[in-house]
Copies of this chain bind each other. A is one copy, B any other.
């Protein structure tokens, strides 16, 4: 009887709910498996894809990263390209929302556990409004993407290099890819588009707006949509908007300085308005979308590389389309630092104290993120013949689900591809979800309170 699970034990095991974080990790893994399988079907591709190519592409699409070892427009059939678009959509918007929809389709009520699971992964604090929110989110997402696609179509149909049908499909694909911050494009490899996406100012403006909205995150968009009725924004929304504005403008100015004044810079000698548009687009895109507004991206100056690594690492808002440590973590750490320097008793901003434990959580995110990036980079450089900066750029890009690359993705060997796949997976789920899923939960509350002791820090 000790080695066999008795009937009642089995029932108890079955009753014990799977913790939400594990369910989310498992869900994404399942989606990756399904995506890989569908990509391997002959109908999806113009040439047989290898298993690693399909796995890498599925993970990259579902994690909305955009790093790619294939050239989608050449290697995928139209069916494959539509599949890619669906994987991006599911990975970006759908992942959490799909779960709810499936439950509703099955006629089941959403249980409290499911609401908590959603609330955790969406990062929302009150689980009550989830169902209403989900419906509203889906409508919002599709509306935004439809408007974006329409604008892109109207603009691109005048492009002589694209047929009418191509312009329509490309507009849909890139509206989804931009809003979901995926960064996949169909131009790279298309005849007439040797340097990838069109970089005229109108295209950059439409794509940049879609990326920006996608990067704000579902809670912020929901908060902004309810502003006309409620006439107040949450602390989270206010901080996110401020941080995003600072990052976008700081990044744009930095890129403009690095690329505009350096004689080798990509923006050198171009008219000022063009410099501003490209620098702003690249700054928005760098935080997680991964479209490159600069043609010869591999030749970026070292200053821009560093700036982009920093922007990618910070990333987008929590519960958004983007990765990185998130603007929330960045804001909490900055506010905490500032308050500490000011000798304030707590971390404070805008007439609010940050709740106890938030600094601890933010520090945990930063610490584990640095560790993941450094460890993955070390694994890559010790198994590839490359320089440190290219490898670190690639890893941070995967970590932030950004997808910018200094041209290194195609040089990855199988081990390197597996490392990048793991980092993309991590990046999409976020540190807190993974920590909670991996770590052994502390079942019983602690019976002892340990005495406090200080140690010295720097």
Q: Are the C-beta atoms of B378 and A125 separated by less than 8 Å?
A: no
CA A254 to CA B342, docked complex, whole Å: 40
Does B378 lie within 8 Å of A306, measured CB to CB? yes
Q: Which residues of A contact B (CB under 8 A)?
A: 123-125, 217, 219, 234-236, 239-240, 254, 257-258, 262, 301-303, 305-307, 310, 315, 317-319, 324-326, 328-329, 331-334, 336-337, 340-348, 351-356, 358-369, 374, 377-378, 381-382, 386-389, 391-392, 430-432, 435-436, 438-442, 446, 449-458
Q: Can you spell out 21 A-B residue pairs with CB atoms less than 8 angstroms apart? A: A123-B456, A219-B456, A235-B454, A236-B455, A301-B382, A305-B381, A318-B457, A328-B455, A329-B457, A329-B458, A334-B367, A336-B360, A341-B435, A354-B453, A359-B359, A362-B457, A363-B363, A366-B367, A369-B458, A389-B389, A430-B458
Please name all residues of chain B whose beta carbon is closer than 8 Å to the beta carbon of A456 when the two chains form the complex. Answer: 123-125, 217, 219, 236, 317-319, 326, 328
Contacts of A301 in B (CB 8 A): 381-382
Question: A310: which B residues are within 8 A, CB to CB?
Answer: 374
B345 & A446 in contact (Cβ 8 Å cutoff):
yes
Q: Counting chain B CB atoms within 10 Å of each CB, which of A324, A360, A368 scores highest?
A: A360
Give the distance to chain B from A407, nearest Cβ to Cβ, in Å: 15
Residues of B within 8 A of A356 (CB): 452
- Beyond A307-B378, A435-B340, whether A365 also contacts B458 by CB under 8 A is yes
Q: Chain B residues with Cβ under 8 A from A446's Cβ?
A: 344-345
Contacts of A367 in B (CB 8 A): 333-334, 336-337, 366
Q: Which residues of B contact A341 (CB under 8 A)?
A: 364, 435-436, 438-439
Assembled-state Cα–Cα distance A399/B382 (Å)? 25
In the bound complex, what is the Cα–Cα distance between A356 and B359 (angstroms)?
A: 12
> Would A363 and B352 be within 8 Å (CB), given that A337-B368, A342-B439, A389-B387 are in contact?
no
Contact A326–B458 (Cβ < 8 Å):
yes
Please measure, in the bound complex, the distance between the C-alpha atom of A388 and the C-alpha atom of B386, giving whole angstroms.
13
Q: Are A391 and B302 in contact (CB under 8 A)?
A: yes
B388 touches A305 (CB 8 A): yes
Residues in B neighbouring A333, C-beta threshold 8 A? 363, 367
Q: Which residues of B contact A346 (CB under 8 A)?
A: 450
CB distance from A424 to the nearest CB of B (A): 15
- Expressed in whole angstroms, the Cα–Cα distance for A455 and B327 within the complex equals 10
- When the two chains form their complex, are residues B302 and A387 in contact, meaning their CB atoms are under 8 A apart? yes
Residues of chain B within 8 A of A240, CB atoms compared = 455
- Taking a contact as CB atoms under 8 Å apart, the answer to whether B306 and A352 are in contact is no
Question: In the complex, which of the residues B343, B378, B382, B458 contacts A432, with contact meaning CB atoms closer than 8 Å?
Answer: B458
Chain B residues with Cβ under 8 A from A391's Cβ?
Answer: 302
